[in-house]
Amino acid sequence: MIKMSINKDLENGFVLRSACLEDAIRMEFVQAMCYPTLHQSEIMDRRHFANHIKVFPEGQLVVEKDGVVIASTSTFRSEFPKHDHNFLEASDNLWLTNAQVPNGEWLYGIDMGVLPEYRGLGLSKEMYKARQEVCKQLGLKGQITVGMTIGFGKVKDKMSIEEYCVGLEKNEFTDPTITPQRKAGFRWVRPVYNYINDPEAGYASILMYNPVDENYFI
């Protein structure tokens, strides 16, 4: 039984709402469009999304335009990660069944995707805000994300992934995924190397958190 749901009208006729089983096919399409270089074994499909909605309905959100899903985000409840891990370990091989901690204090985001033609309109910002609202309503400490350093691919001939992460932390340049996350309030913890099987990201991601109480620091 879903403990809370979201249904919010956004600007330009977009609607942000809790996902339902009928959305799983479109969520699969959005996923395929958003991760062109991610290894097939880490791409989620309709079976995974349908299972997420059964395991933790409060944490699965979509944005639709004219009744068609054009963006989605997937999360689960967890404790704050003590050790480095990879994407498949974190997500119970994409299923979330054994990843979900029913009384976990944090909301761990494993996916945020906006179809390319709808990017730059503030939709990811709205979805990160809605995820923070889920945290507040469920009494969680905040969000966790391990964001992929997807911009590394464009400079991989000029620097190592370690140098890229050092420069990114100091805001010497922006990244198409990490920058929107930091602008949404996420705080840098550390790079996690070999987190994700995506050569464009240098197989790396950045562990970050966004606490509900801004005076809370890990």
Ligand X SMILES: CC(C)(COP(=O)(O)OP(=O)(O)OC[C@H]1O[C@@H](n2cnc3c(N)ncnc32)[C@H](O)[C@@H]1OP(=O)(O)O)[C@@H](O)C(=O)NCCC(=O)NCCS
Q: Which x/- pattern, by CB under 6 A, does the window 89-128 give for ligand X?
A: -----------------------xxx----xxxxxxx---
Residues 138-167 that bind ligand X (CB under 6 A): 147-148, 150
For residue 30, which of 115, 101, 109, 87 has the smallest C-alpha distance? 115
Which of 34, 53, 144, 207 binds ligand X (CB under 6 A)? It is 34
- As measured in angstroms, the least distance from the Cβ of 150 to ligand X is 5
How far apart, in whole angstroms, are the C-alpha atoms of residue 25 and residue 83? 34
Residue 56 CB, shortest distance to ligand X, in Å, is 18
Interaction mask 46-85, ligand X, x per CB under 6 A: ----------------------------------------
Q: What burial class does residue 35 get, using C-beta atoms within 10 Å of its C-beta: 0-12 exposed, 13-18 middle, 19+ buried?
A: buried
Torsion of CA 65, 175, 157, 87, to 10 degrees: -70
**Integer angstrom CA distances of residue 104 from 41, 80, 146, 189:** 27, 9, 17, 19
Binding of ligand X by 179 (CB under 6 A): yes
**Smallest distance from the beta carbon of 59 to ligand X, in angstroms?**
15
For residues 147 and 155, give the distance between their C-alpha atoms in angstroms, rounded to a whole number.
Answer: 18
Sites of contact with ligand X (CB under 6 A): 34, 112-114, 119-125, 147-148, 150, 174, 176-177, 179-180, 183
